[in-house]
Amino acid sequence: MLNIQRIALREIRLPLKEPFRISSGVLSERRICLLELTDADGTTGWSECVAFEQPMYSAETIDTAWLAIREWLAPRVIGHAFEHPSAVFAALSRNICGHNMAKAAVEMGCWEVGARQRKLPLSRMLGGTRDRVPTGISIGIQATPAALAERAKAAYDQGYGKIKVKIQPGADVAFVAAVRETLGSKVHLMADANSAYTLADADHLAKLDAFGLIMIEQPLGRDDLVRHAALQRRLSTPICLDESITGVDQAEDMIALGSGRIVNIKPGRVGGFASSKAIHDVCERAGIPVWCGGMLESGIGRAHNVALASLPNFSLPGDLSPSARYWEQDIVTPEWTMDVDGMVQVPLDGPGIGVTVDLDRVDGLTVRREVIGSAKMATV
């Protein structure tokens, strides 16, 4: 029985080792909202809200998420009993539109608490079956094709099983060509446009068909399911949708319309684990592969993603790079690592997320804190 009494929100700031550029903007520091949830039985769990500082990827930001959690979402959970965390998403969604990343942070924290109560690894609580998951890397937009090719080569040599390069108009065909030429024809290569194109660019995008990409991710706008279907008919490269898939309904629409052939599931984008699992299941039935995307998470969000990626239909490498790719030092121990075959171990030895939050470090990085819920328990 889940019965959350208290949610402690905090904001930490974590500088990225190097700026990450996508078509809609640059990230150089992550302002991260962390949640620590406490159940009536004393069990605690952690989650991370993946919203960015600016509304560049989706409408949410860390500040809107903080407000949504404090004002509307935490009160739907605190002091309410749930048989199982799978019931939380519906309770958060009744008459509350949008705010998926805020909902996900609360809901995924509930799954972590539920897993700890049952003494289960989060992976197994979710229905995961793998004990290691294949990892890809997402490389930001670089100044020149040669610089990108050099990055891609270094990543391939490290063992990554999939290389994704960010593209935008003016940094696309020549950049992908340089990477393909450097890596050879066998390496799993893909491009992610983060909605930078319109259907008027279809002929231009069709030039990418020459490079044998395993997919092109989110070429058009997030609401462009019909236009993506038109574009897919013009491309031999499979389209993978990211921003467009905000819930299971959009996944069903994508399948019905033929808007894409692969789905990137980010649990934050879709409102949490119940929604992710529903999308996973719908895609599995339709023969659509899924993989787990990333939002430059700290080690806490990464733990949630790795657990999700251990489900059976996550059949392509996820954007699950190890801690050292992003941070000088992560906020969990052990840090996330990848072996020479590009695999990340799913923690199965302990309950919940399976990594320990470095509280001293988190305290040192905290710039804002707010406790919601039981005053009696809110003494720290």
Positions annotated as catalytic residues are 166, 266
- Binding partner of 321, given ligand OSB, Mg ion, none, CB within 5-8 angstroms per partner class: ligand OSB
138 binds ligand OSB (CB under 6 A): yes
The CB-nearest residue to ligand OSB is 294
Q: Mask of contacts with ligand OSB, 295-334, x by CB under 6 A?
A: xx----------------------x-x-------------
**Residue 60 interacts with Mg ion (CB under 5 A): yes or no:** no
Q: Which of residues 38-57 bind ligand OSB (CB under 6 A)?
A: 57
Residue 219 beta carbon to ligand OSB: minimum distance, rounded to whole angstroms: 12
Per CB under 6 A, contacts with ligand OSB among 58-117 are: none
Name the 3-class secondary structure at 177: helix
Q: Determine the number of helices (DSSP H) and then strands (DSSP E) in the chain.
A: 15, 16
173-183 and 145-158 helices, crossing angle to 10°: 40
Q: Does 242 bind Mg ion (CB under 5 A)?
A: yes
Q: Is 194 in the site for ligand OSB (CB under 6 A)?
A: yes
Query: Which residue do the tokens 């990230």 mark?
Result: 27
What's phi and psi for 319, nearest 5 deg?
-80, 75
Cβ–Cβ < 8 Å for 295, 268: yes
Rg (CA), the chain: 20
E strand spans, 247-376: 262-265, 290-292, 332-333, 343-345, 356-357, 366-373
> Strand 332-333 relative to strand 81-82: parallel, antiparallel, unpaired?
unpaired
Q: State in angstroms the smallest separation of the CB of 68 from Mg ion.
A: 23
Q: Which stretch binds ligand OSB (CB under 6 A): 180-188, 284-292, 294-302, 352-360?
A: 294-302
Which residue, 310, 344, 337, is CA-closest to 323?
337
Map the footprint of ligand OSB across residues 232-251, applying CB under 6 A: 242
Nearest approach in angstroms of CB 284 to ligand OSB is 21
Minimum distance, C-beta of residue 43 to ligand OSB, in the bound complex (Å) = 28
Who's near 19: CB < 8 A, 6+ residues apart? 26, 27, 28, 140
The yes or no reply on residue 192 touching Mg ion (CB under 5 A) is: yes
Contact 239, 73 (CB under 8 A): no
For ligand OSB, which stretch binds (CB under 6 A), given 123-131, 222-230, 290-298, 334-342?
290-298
What is the contact surface with Mg ion in residues (CB under 5 A)? 192, 217, 242
